[in-house]
Every structure is written in C-alpha cells, then in structure tokens.
Amino acid sequence: MAGLALSLIFLPELAWAQQPEHWQKGLQPAATPVMERITDFHTLLLYVITGICIFVFALLAYIMVRFNAKANPTPSKTTHNTMLEVIWTVLPVVILVIIAVPSLKLLYYGDRVKEPEMTVKVTGYQWYWGYEYPDYEDLSFTAYLIPDDEIDESKGQKRLLSTDHQLVLPVDTDIQFLVTAADVLHSFAVPSFGVKLDGVPGRINETWARIERPGTYYGQCSELCGKGHAYMPIEIRAVSKEEFADWVKFAQEEQQASYDVFETQRKNKLAKAEGLE
C-alpha cells in the first residue's frame, strides 16, 4: 500500500512536462490565468485578421473582374467618393478599437498582482539564472544548464532545457516575480505562464503567475545577451503547497535546492518506513 501511495503522489507530477514540440504551430497550453487570456486574445486576433484577409481578397477579385480593360473599356474619371472615404476611415478605427480594448485589459491584468502570496526574485547572469525566495529566510540558489553529456533521460531531463537546480513553486498561489539582471539585458520567458519580462541591470521589473496544475515547465532567456544566450534555460517544478513546504524545509536545512535530490530522499524514507512495517 505504501508503494501504491508513493506512486500516486509522484507519478502525476513527473508525467506532466510542458515543453516545445517539433513542428509546433500553436501556442503552448496555458498553465496560468494570464496565459489563458493571452490565448483567447490570440484567437480573437486570428478571427479579425482572417476576416480582413477574406474581405481584401474578395475586393481585389471583384475589382479585377468588374473593372478590367475588357469588362470596363471606358474607365470612370471620378476622383472622390465621400461615402467610400468615410468607410475606409471609420472601419479601420472600429477594428483598432476592437483590438485595443481587450489588449489594454490584458496588459494591465498581466502586469502585477495586488496581493501576492509569495515573491520570487529572478536575476539574469551571463549565462545562468539566480533565484531568491525573500519570504523563506532569503533562500537562494543558481541554476545552470545541464551539459549534453550529463543529461539523464531516465530522470526526464531535456537537452538544452534542464538545469541543475529547478525553480520550485507551489500551485494555486499568486506568485510575484521580481526580475532584474546583474550584467547585461536578459529576458525571463516561460511560454506556458504567459510570462516574458526583461531583466535590466539596476532596475526591477514585476510580473506574476498563478500555476494551475503541478508539473515541469520550461522557458529560456529571450533577450540576446551574449555568446551563451542559447544556454541559459529556465526549468520550473510546480508542486502542491504541502510538497513545497517540505521542500523549503529541506532546502534550508541542506542548502541544496534540487527538487530531484529532495524527492529521492523522500522516496528512500518512505521505502524504509514500508520495510519496517
């Protein structure tokens, strides 16, 4: 029974990993309310631009058929048409308003959260990330790319995406991200969260996320920051609030921020307890 309970605890979280896929055309599935709204806005824009394209192509086709030299040998010399000028002025304004209103609402919604439940400070370096948890006795660590020759696929590690230490976060929590940089411009970008924010030396920018389901999420630096730009990925492990609390205690005591190490030790303890029973 203990082994079954252990599998139920860990397998759902380890099975879900949100990452880029080969030949992926659409957006990554949303993991936060912000990304859900971004996806909805993207769909709205797709409808708008599709309607514009259909209208323009239909208009061009009509003009080519109706006003070609054969069908209309004597062209009109009309230079002004008040109604047409009003339409092609007002219609684009209406379309822009339709786009602008939800766009501004989305920008303000994703900008910051009024009452964050926890804060994470993210610092970009050449070429790795630094993470700090001010709410937990200033727990902090750095995350480097795992080299190709050290990738362990049995642990679910991904080439160019996995890091030696994951940013561990709880689900169902309003998390405030404070993003900065120590040397040059970086960009903290996690597609599934709808987060993409520049880290600027000497300045702190703010955004937020509320992760809706446990799993592993990946991102990368999205600002050209030097020769190691392509080698500073972001790996986020989202866990339940209870597991996050246990991990924080472990990380503070052991000064080891790797969730994999924490998970291994936890499994070993449960296995020993099962053997004693």
pLDDT of residue 276: 58
How confident is the model at residue 258, as a pLDDT?
A: 67
Token output for 247: 């991990």
Question: Quick check: 13 pLDDT over 60?
Answer: no
Distances (CA, A) of 275 to 1, 7, 207, 252, 268: 12, 16, 47, 28, 11
- Give the mean pLDDT of the chain: 87
The DSSP code for 133 is E
In this predicted structure, the answer to whether residue 123 has a pLDDT above a threshold of 50 is: yes
pLDDT at 14 (0 to 100) = 45
Q: Which residues of 195-217 are buried (b: 16+ CB within 10 A; e: fewer)?
A: bbbbbbeeeebebbbbbeebbbb
> Are 85 and 38 a contacting pair, CB within 8 Å?
no
Average pLDDT over residues 4-8: 28
pLDDT in tens, 92-111: 999 999 999 999 999 999 99
| CA distances (Å), origin 147, targets 7, 14, 66, 159, 163 | 29, 21, 64, 8, 9
**Domains of the chain, first to last:** 33-111 (1.10.287.90), 118-268 (2.60.40.420)
Residue 251: pLDDT above 90? no
Share of the chain above pLDDT 90, in %: 64
Please determine, for residue 256, whether its predicted confidence score (pLDDT) is greater than 60: no
Average pLDDT over every residue of 56-72: 91
* Whole-number pLDDT of residue 24: 80
pLDDT of 10 higher than 50: no
The dihedral built from the CA positions of residue 210, 212, 215 and 218, taken in this order, carries a sign that is: negative
In this model, does residue 8 exceed pLDDT 90?
no
At residue 51 the predicted structure's pLDDT band, cuts being 50, 70 and 90, is: very high
Average pLDDT over every residue of 215-234 = 95
Q: Per residue in 177-211, pLDDT tens?
A: 999 999 999 999 999 999 999 999 999 999 999 99
Residue predicted with more confidence, 259 or 60:
60
Q: Which pLDDT score, from 0 to 100, does residue 11 have?
A: 33
- Supply the pLDDT for residue 257: 59
H/E stretch holding 148 reads: none
Where is pLDDT greater, at 54 or 157? Answer: 54
Q: Which residue has the higher pLDDT, 237 or 154?
A: 237
Residue 267 has pLDDT above 80, yes or no: no
